[in-house]
Amino acid sequence: MYVLGIETSCDETGIAVYHSKLGLIHHLLYSQIDMHSEYGGVVPELASRDHIRKCVPLIKQCLQESKLTSHDIGGIAYTAGPGLMGALLVGAATARSLAWAWAIPAIAVHHMEGHLLAPMLEENPPVFPFVALLISGGHTLLVRVEGIGQYELLGESLDDAAGEAFDKTAKMLGLGYPGGPKLSALAEQGNKRFKFPRPMTDRPGLDFSFSGLKTFTMNTINASEKTDQDKADVAFAFQQAVADTLSIKCRRALQQTGLKSLVVAGGVSANKQIRAALTEMVVKENAQIYYPRLTFCTDNGAMIAYAGCQRLMAGQQQNLEIIARPRWAMSELSSC
Ligand code: KG4
Ligand code: ZN
């Protein structure tokens, strides 16, 4: 079965076609970064309007380039949440309308489940059960994954998500939006000079907190002369602190669960220094680590098409309701 995937939860319009046996057929991504960067962050209303402009043309292009027509598509998967309400509604309404017109099922996909399953699109996919670290702009989650929809939350951020901390720290350093990749690029020029805290690592548990790190960063910047080198050194120290903190918690999660596979996904998993720290840790733990390819770390339609395809193949059905849920806990998902 060919499944069309539609992702519009934030600032990227992602469209893809996934086939249950042939795998990923094609994917297209339109990023709104240029539009939002003028404002220093995502402007929700502009995001919704841009999704409206891009969604249908990208679907047409994706089908055309895949040499498929609407008659070949057996189901449509769309991101139903979490995310920006207006942005979600565009994808949800488009998916539902096309599914109705084409007389095929549509399925609401949880955005973080999409991220979690993105490494399944790679050549050497992880095998259940595994521990997943999901690090995106809105979430930092450690999850024990027994199968699709079988998610036990092990830990989460009590305040800022990892990506959010990157974005806010980047702003303090005078870097534009999106902050994560910009801070990461600046950190490449930085040296080991400042020692930042590794929040919540000295007490038991698997929760995270990144807001103190933000304040520490602010104080360090203010106490410096704010030269380019100062900023690069601060970026380096901040990134290393996040990388170490994530690595310590993941090691703890592997030890606590006795599992030997770690999946890392979401926008922040594109970060080189974080990847290096986690890879070093799993080698010591005699475990395996799995990532999506870099283009599938951040938002994309392929992960949504994949997740929706698994659920549709398992026979899951939904009525004609247009589902958009800005807040949606993964624990509410059903297994399949
Ligand atoms: O998963 P994603 O594309 O969207 C959400 O679901 O939120 O993640 C976006 C987040 C942003 O906060 C962005 O700054 C961060 O991922 N990000 C990075 C990098 N690339 C994206 N953070 C650190 N290093 C990167 N290379
Ligand atoms: Zn995302």
CA of 162 to the centre of ligand 2 (A): 12
Percent of residues, the chain, with pLDDT higher than 70: 100
Mode of pairing for the β-strands spanning 2-7 and 73-81 = parallel
Average pLDDT in the chain: 97
Please give the number of the atom of ligand 1 that sits closest to the Cα of 9. 6
Q: 25 pLDDT exceeds 90? A: yes
Task: Give pLDDT tens digits for 88-133.
Answer: 999 999 999 999 999 999 999 999 999 999 999 999 999 999 999 9
Angle at CA of residue 295, ends 281 and 265, nearest 5°: 40
Task: Give pLDDT tens digits for 243-269.
Answer: 999 999 999 999 999 999 999 999 999
Q: Give pLDDT, residue 82.
A: 98
Give the Å distances, CA to CA, from 292 to 1, 37, 216, 277. Answer: 23, 26, 32, 17
CA of 110 to the centre of ligand 1 (A): 17
CA of 226 to the centre of ligand 2 (A): 32
Nearest-angstrom CA–CA distance, 63 and 11: 22
pTM for this one?
0.97
Phi/psi at 27 (5° precision): -150, 145
The 3 state secondary structure assigned to 28-81 is EEEECHHHHHCCCCCCHHHHHHHHHHHHHHHHHHHHHHCCCCHHHEEEEEEEEE
Q: 336 pLDDT exceeds 90? A: no
